[in-house]
Amino acid sequence: MAKITWKPGNMLYPLPVVLVSCAAKSGKDNILTIAWTGTTCSNPPMLSISVRPERYSYHMIEETGEFVVNLTTEKLVRATDYCGVKSGKEVDKWKEMHLTRERADIVKAPLIKESPVNIECRVAERKDLGSHVMYQAEVLAVHVDETYMDSSQKFHLEDADPIVYSHGTYFSLGKKLGTFGYSVKKK
Protein backbone atom coordinates (compact mmCIF):
# COMPACT_ATOMS: atom_id res chain seq x y z
CA MET A 1 0.00 0.00 0.00
CA ALA A 2 1.43 3.37 -1.02
CA LYS A 3 1.27 6.43 1.20
CA ILE A 4 0.52 9.96 0.04
CA THR A 5 2.54 12.85 1.44
CA TRP A 6 0.52 15.85 2.60
CA LYS A 7 1.69 19.27 3.68
CA PRO A 8 2.51 19.51 7.42
CA GLY A 9 -0.58 19.57 9.59
CA ASN A 10 -2.15 18.15 12.70
CA MET A 11 -3.17 14.54 12.18
CA LEU A 12 -2.82 13.38 15.77
CA TYR A 13 -6.27 11.86 16.19
CA PRO A 14 -8.46 10.94 17.99
CA LEU A 15 -8.29 13.59 20.68
CA PRO A 16 -10.16 14.12 23.90
CA VAL A 17 -12.79 16.80 23.40
CA VAL A 18 -13.61 18.78 26.52
CA LEU A 19 -15.81 21.63 27.65
CA VAL A 20 -13.75 24.34 29.33
CA SER A 21 -15.61 26.63 31.69
CA CYS A 22 -14.09 29.95 32.69
CA ALA A 23 -15.11 33.18 34.36
CA ALA A 24 -14.03 36.79 34.21
CA LYS A 25 -13.30 38.79 37.37
CA SER A 26 -16.66 40.49 36.79
CA GLY A 27 -18.39 37.15 37.33
CA LYS A 28 -19.44 36.67 33.68
CA ASP A 29 -18.71 33.10 32.68
CA ASN A 30 -18.62 31.00 29.52
CA ILE A 31 -18.00 27.55 28.10
CA LEU A 32 -15.84 26.71 25.10
CA THR A 33 -15.07 23.43 23.41
CA ILE A 34 -11.42 22.44 23.21
CA ALA A 35 -9.88 19.49 21.37
CA TRP A 36 -6.29 20.75 21.61
CA THR A 37 -5.79 19.45 25.14
CA GLY A 38 -3.85 16.80 26.98
CA THR A 39 -2.01 15.55 30.02
CA THR A 40 1.48 17.01 30.28
CA CYS A 41 2.73 15.80 33.67
CA SER A 42 1.61 13.42 36.41
CA ASN A 43 3.71 14.75 39.29
CA PRO A 44 2.82 17.53 39.74
CA PRO A 45 -0.46 16.93 37.91
CA MET A 46 -0.62 19.27 34.91
CA LEU A 47 -2.53 19.53 31.66
CA SER A 48 -2.62 21.88 28.72
CA ILE A 49 -5.25 23.53 26.59
CA SER A 50 -4.69 25.62 23.48
CA VAL A 51 -7.05 28.51 22.75
CA ARG A 52 -7.32 30.87 19.80
CA PRO A 53 -7.02 34.51 20.94
CA GLU A 54 -10.17 35.46 19.00
CA ARG A 55 -12.29 33.15 21.17
CA TYR A 56 -14.58 34.96 23.64
CA SER A 57 -13.26 32.88 26.56
CA TYR A 58 -9.62 33.68 25.80
CA HIS A 59 -9.79 37.03 27.60
CA MET A 60 -11.40 35.44 30.67
CA ILE A 61 -8.58 32.91 30.95
CA GLU A 62 -6.00 35.65 30.34
CA GLU A 63 -7.56 37.83 33.06
CA THR A 64 -7.95 35.19 35.79
CA GLY A 65 -5.48 32.45 34.85
CA GLU A 66 -8.10 29.86 35.82
CA PHE A 67 -10.44 27.43 34.12
CA VAL A 68 -12.18 24.08 34.58
CA VAL A 69 -11.81 21.18 32.17
CA ASN A 70 -15.08 19.22 32.04
CA LEU A 71 -14.98 15.81 30.38
CA THR A 72 -17.61 15.08 27.74
CA THR A 73 -19.95 12.15 27.13
CA GLU A 74 -22.39 10.90 24.54
CA LYS A 75 -25.15 12.72 26.46
CA LEU A 76 -23.12 15.94 26.18
CA VAL A 77 -22.16 15.63 22.50
CA ARG A 78 -24.73 18.21 21.29
CA ALA A 79 -23.62 20.69 23.97
CA THR A 80 -19.99 19.94 23.10
CA ASP A 81 -20.55 20.83 19.47
CA TYR A 82 -22.77 23.84 20.25
CA CYS A 83 -20.24 25.34 22.67
CA GLY A 84 -17.60 25.06 19.94
CA VAL A 85 -19.55 26.80 17.21
CA LYS A 86 -21.54 29.45 19.10
CA SER A 87 -19.95 32.46 20.77
CA GLY A 88 -20.64 33.38 24.38
CA LYS A 89 -20.77 36.99 23.15
CA GLU A 90 -24.04 36.16 21.41
CA VAL A 91 -25.68 33.39 23.46
CA ASP A 92 -25.84 32.04 26.98
CA LYS A 93 -24.52 28.52 26.35
CA TRP A 94 -25.49 27.38 29.86
CA LYS A 95 -29.11 28.28 29.21
CA GLU A 96 -29.29 27.10 25.60
CA MET A 97 -27.76 23.69 26.37
CA HIS A 98 -29.52 23.24 29.74
CA LEU A 99 -26.22 22.93 31.60
CA THR A 100 -25.95 23.46 35.34
CA ARG A 101 -23.29 25.54 37.06
CA GLU A 102 -21.73 24.11 40.22
CA ARG A 103 -19.36 25.94 42.50
CA ALA A 104 -15.73 24.87 42.25
CA ASP A 105 -13.66 24.35 45.40
CA ILE A 106 -10.72 26.56 44.44
CA VAL A 107 -11.19 28.48 41.18
CA LYS A 108 -13.91 31.01 40.39
CA ALA A 109 -14.93 29.29 37.14
CA PRO A 110 -17.95 27.00 37.57
CA LEU A 111 -18.01 23.23 37.11
CA ILE A 112 -20.49 21.71 34.67
CA LYS A 113 -22.69 19.45 36.80
CA GLU A 114 -23.60 17.16 33.88
CA SER A 115 -19.93 16.29 33.25
CA PRO A 116 -18.66 13.10 34.96
CA VAL A 117 -15.26 14.68 35.70
CA ASN A 118 -14.37 18.32 36.40
CA ILE A 119 -10.72 19.39 36.67
CA GLU A 120 -9.99 22.74 38.34
CA CYS A 121 -6.90 24.36 36.82
CA ARG A 122 -4.64 27.36 37.31
CA VAL A 123 -2.34 28.54 34.52
CA ALA A 124 1.33 27.90 35.31
CA GLU A 125 2.73 28.90 31.92
CA ARG A 126 1.43 30.64 28.83
CA LYS A 127 3.01 30.18 25.43
CA ASP A 128 2.16 31.89 22.14
CA LEU A 129 2.37 29.24 19.42
CA GLY A 130 0.88 30.97 16.37
CA SER A 131 -2.83 30.40 15.79
CA HIS A 132 -3.24 29.29 19.43
CA VAL A 133 -1.99 30.19 22.88
CA MET A 134 -1.13 27.14 24.96
CA TYR A 135 -1.85 27.23 28.67
CA GLN A 136 0.12 24.78 30.77
CA ALA A 137 -1.96 24.44 33.92
CA GLU A 138 -1.60 22.97 37.37
CA VAL A 139 -4.45 20.66 38.39
CA LEU A 140 -5.81 22.02 41.69
CA ALA A 141 -8.77 19.70 42.28
CA VAL A 142 -10.64 16.89 40.54
CA HIS A 143 -14.34 16.19 41.00
CA VAL A 144 -15.87 12.86 39.93
CA ASP A 145 -19.51 11.87 39.77
CA GLU A 146 -20.11 9.19 42.39
CA THR A 147 -22.51 7.50 39.95
CA TYR A 148 -19.44 5.99 38.28
CA MET A 149 -17.77 4.69 41.46
CA ASP A 150 -17.98 0.99 42.32
CA SER A 151 -18.16 -0.53 45.82
CA SER A 152 -14.35 -0.64 46.07
CA GLN A 153 -14.19 3.10 45.22
CA LYS A 154 -12.77 2.53 41.73
CA PHE A 155 -13.88 5.09 39.17
CA HIS A 156 -15.37 3.79 35.88
CA LEU A 157 -15.32 6.64 33.36
CA GLU A 158 -16.17 4.16 30.60
CA ASP A 159 -19.66 3.82 32.11
CA ALA A 160 -20.24 7.52 31.38
CA ASP A 161 -19.78 6.92 27.62
CA PRO A 162 -16.94 9.40 26.99
CA ILE A 163 -16.41 10.79 23.50
CA VAL A 164 -13.43 11.77 21.36
CA TYR A 165 -12.92 14.05 18.36
CA SER A 166 -11.26 12.99 15.12
CA HIS A 167 -10.79 15.20 12.10
CA GLY A 168 -14.09 17.08 12.42
CA THR A 169 -16.17 14.20 13.80
CA TYR A 170 -17.22 13.15 17.31
CA PHE A 171 -16.99 9.44 18.19
CA SER A 172 -17.95 7.28 21.12
CA LEU A 173 -15.25 4.97 22.40
CA GLY A 174 -15.28 1.38 21.22
CA LYS A 175 -14.80 -1.88 23.02
CA LYS A 176 -12.11 -2.48 25.62
CA LEU A 177 -9.01 -4.02 24.04
CA GLY A 178 -6.77 -4.48 27.09
CA THR A 179 -5.47 -2.79 30.19
CA PHE A 180 -2.10 -1.18 30.83
CA GLY A 181 0.57 -3.90 31.06
CA TYR A 182 -1.60 -6.72 29.74
CA SER A 183 0.94 -7.56 27.01
CA VAL A 184 3.58 -8.59 29.55
CA LYS A 185 1.43 -10.15 32.27
CA LYS A 186 2.15 -13.75 33.13
CA LYS A 187 -0.72 -16.12 32.46
Task: Map out the domains of the chain with their CATH numbers.
Answer: 15-176 (2.30.110.10)
pLDDT in tens, 175-184: 888 888 888 8
Is the pTM value of this prediction over 0.75? Answer: yes
143, 111 Cβ separation under 8 angstroms: yes
Residue 174, beta-bridge partner list: none
pLDDT tens across the length of the chain (187 residues): 899 898 888 888 999 999 999 999 999 999 999 999 999 999 999 999 999 999 999 999 999 999 999 999 999 999 999 999 999 999 999 999 999 999 999 999 999 999 999 999 999 999 999 999 999 999 999 999 999 999 999 999 999 999 999 999 999 998 888 888 888 888 7
CB count in 10 Å sphere of residue 1: 2
165, 17 Cβ separation under 8 angstroms: yes
